[in-house]
Structure 1
């Protein structure tokens, strides 16, 4: 039977980052992905590497500081994949967030970035407001411009996997984990590939299956308790409308949520929604209500040719990502976005990840490897994780 130090379940951005970090730290690594690398949530995000300006409203300052530090790091480590892009916040006479509130938030954002070059923001002169193509000017009181970054989430995840493989990690796609037996010293993991049953011994197992994290735990023996979670679907629409040069940060006209109108391959991408799902499908689909919601916000802020039906005719694509949030009271928009790492005394060789952000996958990976070191000991390091370039 094959033996590895660490087995990672899930080939999204978190699983990829953990495999890369573990391989750099000298561990033998096997990653199992039930479909294809970055085939689900990690290919269907808003494609942003950002500090999370809106998280300031819910008091998540440590997460924002960490995210801003990771934005800075990724701009250096992956310059061909992560690019700075201007964001614009229009403030209208009907906006819930006032000009002073926006300015205060951007000032705090700059402080939390340690006054990084991208932490600078400015008030856009009214003479330049018309340069934002299609933006309605009636009732517009102010426009603020700040910086964050954009990426191709799928390509970034694939680049991390490529680097992990170069460091010796073994990655298997279309590998369904079917059983995890937790023994005192290690775990025995069974998985299925092309109708062939495989078995491997792993000194430690990390469950990074994203929305399917609790489904993986159903295969653990002895049984283990799972965390109560919510599946929250975030949907996006791609419109055949020429894009602006930057990203519009817009307050929903239906509620106080924030959505983005972004350039994507020369067209206009709108997102995201937050809809709690009752069940999880293999291929999430945007609902009619979500489409109406996103197009309604776009129509509210931009001069459109025709009504909602005319806008629907411009929709060329849509995609949905499902993220995991802890099951708490209140709406999904205000819930914490940091990663929960769950290990139990009864199963000391198994760690499960709940939630997480694309931007902070590296800090998640570093924290997981600290757990691995405690669980099975250190190994001679192969590379400095913080200096690994991605392309």
Structure 2
């Protein structure tokens, strides 16, 4: 019998599984698809406090997020790094003093230490000159962080497994039967079905949290999920420089333009209500037009749908707080524990990628009476796999490149960014490019593919090209097909 069954392999599910396994609990996590295959790989890729949440008076959420921002930066510096954001002053929208006040709070609310603070910028001078339209002359620059979102999920799952958890992908929970002291859970995969026993269940099924709650509680759940779709577009790089832009709109929403994968700019996101988590999720023509128009209102060179090289969309499973405007629905999480009539089930509603570690601690606090034997909280100072760099990222990358001078510089740096200290595991005993096996486009090698399958739960080409990396963006259709053929040969 397991102590804890976690349903859902998104960021919240793997966060709970990792924390619980590290406290000595016997944990099983099941995910019907791939890790991070839905919401957690479709974010705007930010570890941030949520500047706009200050307008909705969500000071607690912003403070917790800002504290977690710097903590996570220290725990996973290979996949999380600082990013400077430029907020142009739009004369027809929020006044400059209002923006400055909000940024002052943002700088001080979370006890910022590692990241630089806000400063005013002249948008008519380098590096911003000519990037934005002539109407934008002044702005503010502040700090947040970038994250490789799907890798954050995968590395948390790897850590959970290394601490004793069992992680099953391609495995759906299709039945839950409650007893006084346990749950019987039916798990179904391509290999067949089986029933496992667990003392408690954490329902972290994301957009399907309501379905799992209904499966377990036979319609008795009093909580509801609010589904909001967010879409993004990717276009060829719009400007030089490592900074991002944050644009205000007349509908009170904001949209980011962010350097992406060296050669591109990421623009997003939208807030569109969704009724059914099972309907196809994709960026609509209306959403694409919205993002292109807003970007064109700010950039000197218009952005058109014809420029787009890729789009993606995800569904945020927010806690339904009865807010009419989807963009104003709280991004804070709600943990709902049902202990009536037998073994407990804890359902996770809402949340944001920045607060996943804190959410996991809260979840296990809710289950403390069920597991009095479990250990203390520990994740606040435990690096994620590969994050034990021992110094700053650049210094680590330089040491790695020097130790493997036979690697092309771009490949060495990419491996450091993706795997941190575990880049050595990817290379194994190799001392030349030939030792890495078959070579694919975008400097993907057979050695890296084998590592992703054996150590990071990858089962197919999309798992590699669009989640554990974004190498698919740098390949032609034929080149992506060659990676799929490698998986077929296995």
Tell me which interval the TM-score lies in, with the shorter structure as reference length.
over 0.9
> Which residue pairs with 2:68 in the alignment?
70
Does structure 1 conserve the Cα–Cα contact (< 8 Å) formed by 2:124 and 2:137? Answer: no
- Determine if the alignment matches structure 1 residue 303 to structure 2 residue 297: no
| Matching residue within 334, 338, 349 for 2:328 | 334
| Matching residue within 330, 350, 354 for 2:349 | 354
Instruction: Judging by fraction of residues, say which structure has more strand.
Output: 1
Change (3 A) 1:33 1:282: farther
> Which residue pairs with 1:379 in the alignment?
374
User: 1:32-63 CA deviation, whole Å, 9 max, x = no partner?
Assistant: 00101111100000000001111000000000
Supply the distance in 1 between the matched residues of 2:247 and 2:218 (Cα, whole angstroms). Answer: 48
User: 1:215-272 CA deviation, whole Å, 9 max, x = no partner?
Assistant: 11232255532522221000000001344421101102x4110110001102110000
Supply the distance in 1 between the matched residues of 2:337 and 2:129 (Cα, whole angstroms). Answer: 50
Supply the distance in 1 between the matched residues of 2:374 and 2:114 (Cα, whole angstroms). Answer: 37
Does structure 2 conserve the Cα–Cα contact (< 8 Å) formed by 1:214 and 1:226? Answer: no
> Which residue pairs with 1:83 in the alignment?
81
Does structure 2 conserve the Cα–Cα contact (< 8 Å) formed by 1:5 and 1:27? Answer: yes
Distance apart, 1:120 and its partner CA: 1.0
- Determine if the alignment matches structure 1 residue 314 to structure 2 residue 307: yes
Does structure 2 conserve the Cα–Cα contact (< 8 Å) formed by 1:82 and 1:151? Answer: yes
Instruction: Judging by fraction of residues, say which structure has more helix.
Output: 2
Question: What SS does the aligned partner of 2:367 have?
Answer: helix
The normalised TM-score by structure 2 is 0.75
Distance apart, 1:329 and its partner CA: 3.2
- Determine if the alignment matches structure 1 residue 272 to structure 2 residue 269: yes
Change (3 A) 1:233 1:27: same
Question: What SS does the aligned partner of 1:35 have?
Answer: coil
The RMSD of aligned alpha carbons is 1.8
Supply the distance in 1 between the matched residues of 2:145 and 2:82 (Cα, whole angstroms). Answer: 4
Distance apart, 1:182 and its partner CA: 1.4
Residues paired across the two proteins, number: 381
Question: What SS does the aligned partner of 2:85 have?
Answer: strand
Question: What SS does the aligned partner of 1:97 have?
Answer: coil
Supply the distance in 1 between the matched residues of 2:338 and 2:4 (Cα, whole angstroms). Answer: 17
Does structure 1 conserve the Cα–Cα contact (< 8 Å) formed by 2:26 and 2:165? Answer: yes
User: 1:156-207 CA deviation, whole Å, 9 max, x = no partner?
Assistant: 1111111111101100011111111111111111111115111111011000
TM alignment of 1:208-357, pairs within 5 A: 208-220=204-216, 223-243=219-239, 244-252=241-249, 254-266=250-262, 267-281=264-278, 283-304=280-301, 311-327=304-320, 328-346=322-340, 349-357=344-352
Question: What SS does the aligned partner of 2:344 have?
Answer: strand
Distance apart, 1:371 and its partner CA: 1.7
Q: Mind listing any 5+ residue stretches in structure 2 that lack a counterpart?
A: 387-490
Does structure 2 conserve the Cα–Cα contact (< 8 Å) formed by 1:174 and 1:193? Answer: yes
Question: What SS does the aligned partner of 2:104 have?
Answer: helix
Runs of 4+ in 1 over 6 A off after TM superposition: none
Change (3 A) 1:261 1:189: same
Supply the distance in 2 between the matched residues of 1:171 and 1:313 (Cα, whole angstroms). Answer: 41
| Matching residue within 135, 142, 151 for 1:139 | 135
Does structure 1 conserve the Cα–Cα contact (< 8 Å) formed by 2:184 and 2:195? Answer: yes
Tell me: higher relative CO, structure 1 or 2? Use CA pairs within 8 A at least 6 residues apart. Answer: 1
